[in-house]
Amino acid sequence: MAPPQVDYAYGKQIESARQQLNELISKDKRYYAPLMLHLALHDAGIYGFMTDGAKDYLMKRGPNGSIGTQAELSHPSNKGLKKAVEHCDEVKRNNKKITYADLYQLAGVVAVQNTGGPPIEFVPGREDSTKFPDKAPLKSNELDESILEKIRERMDLEKKDMVALFGGLHQWSLPPDETPKGKQQNLPELKFDNSYFIGLKTREKQNLFVKDNEQYGQWVDTYEKDNNAFLADYAAAHKKVSELGISVAGEQTDQRTPAPGMSVAGKQTDQKTPAPGMSVAGKQTDQKTPAPSRNRVRLVQGIGIAVVTTAIILGFFLSRRSK
């Protein structure tokens, strides 16, 4: 499938979808927010995988919407995400231009921001794909340090990216596979923060980040003490993962040329070329060429008459001298 044309109409549908997702998540944050965040990060998780039989081919899939296929949804690591896909289908029906790849990533961004998390810049332009390799490197329930390092290297992430993303994703478990019941008054409001890291090292079942690994453990310490540091690093890591594999002609790049009057974020700019005598707001300007004043016309006419008269008089005297 070809990448979408990110023009003004596409940008308008992105904003429409953003509003619909916000309204959906606000109905029951404890149900919808974890669904949408897991959907976005799981779709982005397949990146940099070397396929069998084609060792020179790097599968730069990244977020491509393939998680909506039955083959990928049926993988054990994606259990519970079918509902998220179905809810996004409802949004897609009202915004047909948007690719599923963009829609799923937008849903993750909205889920974080709707629950008090950091603003994450969203750049549209992802291409849809239904291809899903049999041996894709999907998340395993049994992660150890060696597997974690392989994932980090494959996705070209820093250690702090991995810790921040892990904390963001695992502070919310997926809801049970049932219809949401709306806001529950006896439960506190769901909030995106550093709560996952607080007391992590003292728990009976230690997390793999703090098990004999100082390089990961130092970020656990940082995020436990400083929520702002966690939110800032999470926003940067989430944006990085959400843009893995965005490409032009098969090469990873974010340097796309926006359509006229559009930014890469799909928003209309004010850099229009105004019509003559008009401002960019469509108002007539005062930059007109003024007509010559009446006094100036009379002055020019007077000078002309004086010059002609002088020429006649000089001609008369010169003719008499010659005689």
CA-wise closest residue to 134 among 177, 195, 74: 74
User: What is the 3-state secondary structure of the chain?
Assistant: CCCCCCCHHHHHHHHHHHHHHHHHHHHCHHHHHHHHHHHHHHHHCCCCEECCCCCCCEECCCCCCHHHCHHHHCCHHHCCCHHHHHHHHHHHHHCCCCCHHHHHHHHHHHHHHHCCCCCCCCCCCCCCCCCCCCCCCCCCCCCCHHHHHHHHHHCCCCHHHHHHHHHHHHCCCCCCCCCCCCCCCCCCCCCCCCCCCCCHHHCCCCCHHHCCCHHHHHHHHHHHHCHHHHHHHHHHHHHHHHCCCCEECCEECCCCCCCCCECCCCCECCCCCCCCCECCCCCECCCCCCCCCHHHHHHHHHHHHHHHHHHHHHHHHHHHHHC
Phi-psi category of 141—alpha, beta or left, where left has phi over 0 and alpha has psi -120 to 50?
Answer: alpha
- Treating both helix axes as pointing N-terminal to C-terminal, what angle do 8-27 and 100-114 enclose, rounded to 10 degrees? 50
| Per annotation, catalytic residue among 38, 42, 87, 238 | 42
Q: Is 42 a catalytic residue?
A: yes
Q: Which residues are catalytic?
A: 42
